[in-house]
Structure 1
Amino acid sequence: MTTYYTKDHEWIRVDGDTGTVGITNYAAGQLGDVVYVELPETGAKFARGDDFAVVESVKAASDVYAPVSGSVLEVNTALTEAPEKVNEAAQGDAWFVRVRLTDAGELSGLMDEAAYAAFCEGL
């Protein structure tokens, strides 16, 4: 499995033609205490760059953007019951959706872990 990152602080962990998507620890830290997560329905389709979820914190509401085009296979419903999990494990158990990738070639436009770490250092 390989993990890729966007400049909007989403991550996608890819295994074959399936990707698990969430927000990064950096994004969770910037948001502060997450109080609400709105996720798409299973079966929803989106293009790379489309907003597909919303995260609300005590500070702000923020859209979550699709790192690649795909269709939703699974939604992490645990986050609707316990949105604070995003602050506890943003890049672990607090994933948002699992998607079937429409075009794996879109991954080439994303950053690897080292590039993302360097990107965050410059912020």
Structure 2
Amino acid sequence: MNKPLKMLVGTSIALMLSVGYGAAQAQDDTAASAPMAKETHKQKWHADHKLEAQVRHALTTHKVESSDIRIVARHGVVTLDGTVEDASLIPVATSAAQGVAGVKSVKNNLTMHEAGN
């Protein structure tokens, strides 16, 4: 093969590789800038369930007995229903729940457990 022909083949290969790389890079950029797919019902349910577990853990960490507390999370809104042994634990429960990442707001419907019940 003569020298000019080798140079032409080498340049052509280099050009094809660079064009191919540029096209692949453009696809990556497009995929990265595309809006995220809409979250499925199952994914939302799992996220809510995980948030409920994290709130229960936070209550336990803050020494709030949570066995009589129902925790419901829906899209970052947490509702606490049930009873606590001491009225002073009601604001502690709110604060503990608000401290969990992903919690947007807390609806605290807790009441004090009455003796004999």
TM-score in terms of structure 2 length:
0.25
Query: Greater helix percent: which structure?
Result: 2
Larger Rg: 2
The structure that is strand-richer by fraction is 1
Q: Which has the higher contact order (CA 8 A, sep 6+)?
A: 1
